[in-house]
Chain A
């Protein structure tokens, strides 16, 4: 953190500088529009990437900022996916209200779960998040009448977005829709993490007892962050259902939780753009390697993970920022 002895005034100024948009960021978001021109055949993949990025952003909020390790984050993704899917399968095919309903419902579930989760740390926390997600998965698996079981949810029929843009086979609408939601949620998360509340979260991550000594109510902060992250994960799940018009049990599975964790850490946790970049690298790599030999794709992702953890702690963005710092200090 910048200087220990800053006053409230300086803090406001510091937060304000953090909130300012940098050229790189603007370039990044503009680049997100280029698939329409450069790779129109890959828009379906691009929309999957945007959804994965939104999911990773949600995990970044709990793990990267608040420091809570969750191995069951897919539970919220799956809840959102099934909320949107069940609404659409039962005649409520309007996408935006479906998305909002998924966000509200998963947010409420997240709020309830957060009372349990914030009491634990370390291995107990990892196992409890994992256990809760597995419970949900096996419940969804046995509730055939509701979820369609192993076959997935059938009959998800989406109405056109704004009544005008229908979800086409090439993913033109899907990508625009996913990217717009990702961008809006990103703006919100960016604002939140650069607020005093975001600073408190980082404080809790770094030193919980010191934050208590400063008078922060840690558990209330963590609960808020967890609830918000659950709602965002639910939105990501809802987007997936709406753009692919199916919902499967895989959205709830352990594999999904592990995947998003790997994405976030590859990119760099606690950096907002880390999850986005990680999702991009992970999804493109999976697409490419799976074409060569789908079975062995995990070999490469595993090797990449080992290499990043050994040589590049802090992920791709962490490595980049260290490189920049070294250059800057050399320039001085």
Chain B
């Protein structure tokens, strides 16, 4: 029993860390720029397909494909921010939702056109495959890799926002945009960079997700709901909040699949509604 509990906690935490990578970018951009970007899952899908293409067709190694996924998703999100999103910073939540849902639709159809509708898979390097055994329980090595990457990135992000000049500018721009502009902070540039960073992280998450959950053209839609749950439960703009919410969601998803498969995803939504009903701004939300 304890073995099963440990296994569920381990798998759940790893899944949670994947969700954290997928959603932390949205949490930051939503919290800082107040922009409801439902197309965040599309950035993750871009990263996933870039990784698949590089590894399966051009034979790139796994560790080289990951940064490429990050960069390409960051570039695409930067372009979209320049061309489209910037006009909508002052629009209502609903308008932002609908614009970005339009982008989700376009990205899903484009992915189906370019890559077909089958599930994609990648071959991870041998040192990440397999698992180690403790007692009667097996623990996948790839999941450990996911956890390490997510923890490192979380630390890096918090550090960058708290202790660097760039982070200070972003925080200033969020707290009081006019004041920050008055003091000579290039607010537009800070936002554009934040946005690119958030998109890139999603792309990285998308590339890392393939081994665990696969990748198909509906990825942007399927994971949109999970990403939104993490962001709203964790609280907007809170990296720590996203971390806790993602871990919670990951563990409860895996536990639900293991112990009560007949209830489906009922439990997850129930937990989300209960938390939001008690704390509408999320566990760690400020507003």
Q: Does A146 contact B (CB under 8 A)?
A: no
Stretch at the interface among A27-35, A116-124, A155-163, A183-191: A116-124
Of all chain A residues, the one with the shortest Cβ separation from B287 is A122
Of all chain A residues, the one with the shortest Cβ separation from B229 is A127
User: Is the beta-carbon distance between B276 and A142 smaller than 8 angstroms?
Assistant: no
Of all chain B residues, the one with the shortest Cβ separation from A144 is B262
Contacts of A119 in B (CB 8 A): 280
Stretch at the interface among B107-115, B123-131, B179-187: B107-115
User: Is the beta-carbon distance between B109 and A123 smaller than 8 angstroms?
Assistant: no
**Cα A63 to Cα B95 with chains together (Å):** 12
Contacts of B137 in A (CB 8 A): none
Of all chain B residues, the one with the shortest Cβ separation from A293 is B113
Stretch at the interface among B166-174, B195-203, B264-272: B264-272
Contact size class for B?
35 or more
**Given B110, B117, B272, which contacts A299 in the complex, CB threshold below 8 Å?**
B110
**Given A134, A295, A302, which contacts B269 in the complex, CB threshold below 8 Å?**
A134
Q: Is the interface of A mostly helix, strand, loop or mixed?
A: helix
Stretch at the interface among A6-14, A238-246, A303-311: A303-311
**Given B36, B105, B109, B280, which contacts A120 in the complex, CB threshold below 8 Å?**
B280
| Interface hits, A233-268 → B, CB 8 Å | 254, 258, 261-262, 265
Contacts of A296 in B (CB 8 A): 109, 112-113
**Cα A143 to Cα B118 with chains together (Å):** 30
User: Is the beta-carbon distance between A305 and B105 smaller than 8 angstroms?
Assistant: yes
Contacts of B102 in A (CB 8 A): 301-306, 309
Q: Does A317 contact B (CB under 8 A)?
A: no
Q: A127-B272, A306-B103 are in contact. Are A134 and B225 (CB under 8 A)?
A: yes
User: Is the beta-carbon distance between B109 and A297 smaller than 8 angstroms?
Assistant: yes
User: Is the beta-carbon distance between A309 and B99 smaller than 8 angstroms?
Assistant: yes
Q: Does A298 contact B (CB under 8 A)?
A: yes
Contacts of A300 in B (CB 8 A): 109
- Give per-residue flags for B76-101: 1 if the beta carbon is below 8 A from chain A beta carbons, else 0: 00000000100110010111011101
| Interface hits, B178-225 → A, CB 8 Å | 225
Contacts of B262 in A (CB 8 A): 142
Q: Does B148 contact A (CB under 8 A)?
A: no
**Cα A11 to Cα B265 with chains together (Å):** 50
User: Is the beta-carbon distance between A135 and B266 smaller than 8 angstroms?
Assistant: yes
User: Is the beta-carbon distance between B225 and A130 smaller than 8 angstroms?
Assistant: yes
User: Is the beta-carbon distance between A124 and B106 smaller than 8 angstroms?
Assistant: no
User: Is the beta-carbon distance between B101 and A123 smaller than 8 angstroms?
Assistant: no
Of all chain A residues, the one with the shortest Cβ separation from B264 is A138
Q: Does A45 contact B (CB under 8 A)?
A: no
User: Is the beta-carbon distance between A302 and B104 smaller than 8 angstroms?
Assistant: yes
User: Is the beta-carbon distance between A309 and B95 smaller than 8 angstroms?
Assistant: yes
| 23 CB < 8 A contacts A-B | A69-B97, A123-B36, A124-B280, A126-B97, A127-B276, A128-B273, A130-B228, A134-B265, A135-B270, A138-B266, A265-B98, A295-B112, A298-B108, A299-B105, A302-B101, A302-B102, A302-B109, A304-B102, A305-B101, A306-B99, A306-B103, A309-B99, A310-B87
Instruction: Give B contacts to A, CB under 8 Å.
Output: 30, 36, 84, 87-88, 91, 93-95, 97-99, 101-110, 112-113, 117, 225, 228-229, 231-232, 236, 262-266, 269-270, 272-273, 276-277, 280-282
User: What are the 7 tightest A-B residue pairs by CB atom distance, in nearest-first order?
Assistant: A302-B105, A305-B102, A299-B109, A302-B106, A124-B280, A138-B264, A306-B102
Q: A126-B93, A131-B229, A302-B103 are known; give 18 further A-B pairs, CB within 8 A.
A: A69-B97, A123-B232, A127-B228, A127-B276, A131-B269, A131-B270, A134-B265, A138-B264, A141-B264, A295-B117, A299-B109, A299-B110, A302-B109, A303-B102, A305-B101, A305-B105, A309-B102, A310-B99
